[in-house]
Amino acid sequence: MRAMKRPFYSGNEYECTVCETGVSSFKPAWKSLERELSTFIYPVDSFETFNRKALICPACDASDRDRLCALYFRERLASSGGRLRVLDFAPNLANSRWLRGEKRIDYYSADLFRPKVDLRLDIQNMHELADQSFDALICSHVLEHVPDDKAAMRELYRILKQGGFAIIMVPLVLGVTRTQEDPSHDSEALRKMHYAQCDHLRLYGTLDFVEGLESVGFSVRRLDAGYFGLDVFRKAAITGTSALYVATKP
């Protein structure tokens, strides 16, 4: 449990699943993010996993999708008797700090551009890593930035141990079932309009995102409130439409 940065958030109405701190509320999305999304062609609240009004933990800065990821990781830790070797791509500070401190996890961070990571890797070609190197992978909001996302999916499958799991998340919009990717959307303004951010290369569809992962060999489970429980989601300020995508290597 982390010390509260801002005492007026102290309480027990909610609890962050990353730092396990009780809070009276979570912080809303920062105004610059809302401005960034103002030209997006879909409503801000149509994202599958995005609690705009209660996004950030005031104690550890974990986002709602970080909290969703932590729910599953804590479940796996509770059911696993051994150690887990984990590789986390483009890590966020809250989850990275927590996972690195877990005694039963051998944690490695990875990124192509950030200087302060354990491994400098191009997710499209991780020739530095042997087959079946890791028990678990975290790849959250990375693939939408990658030119050859199918190559990245194949590499994720290759380095994951048989029987291992990968948490793979991308921005998804409710009702958008097929991926939208147009090479003519080659300006920052057009990408912000169609893909939500200027550095996104596509907007995934809820159906063919899963189909793409399955095409490289993964088995994919979509874990939502029906799996975790609505009360659990409410306590962690995770919206009822949210879902975690867990890919396993049979």
Along the 250 residues of the chain, how does pLDDT read in single tens digits?
555 555 667 788 999 999 999 999 999 998 888 888 999 999 999 999 999 999 999 999 999 999 999 999 999 999 887 899 999 999 999 999 999 999 999 999 999 999 999 999 999 999 999 999 999 999 999 999 999 999 999 999 999 999 999 999 999 999 999 999 999 999 999 999 999 999 999 999 999 999 999 999 999 999 999 999 999 999 999 999 999 999 999 9
pLDDT for the residue 82 = 85
Q: Is 111 inside a domain boundary?
A: yes
Host domain of residue 131:
64-248
In a domain, 28, yes or no: no
Residue 187 neighbours by CB under 8 Å, 6+ apart: none
Residue 23 lies in a domain: no
Residue 49 lies in a domain: no
Structure tokens at 43: 């409503």
pTM for this prediction: 0.94
- CB 51, CB 238: distance < 8 Å: yes
In a domain, 6, yes or no: no
What is the 8-class DSSP label of residue 68?
H
- Assess if residue 232 is contained within a domain: yes
Whether residue 88 contacts residue 142, with contact meaning beta carbons closer than 8 Å, is answered with: no
Residue 50 domain-assigned? Answer: no
Q: What CATH number is attached to the domain comprising 158? A: 3.40.50.150
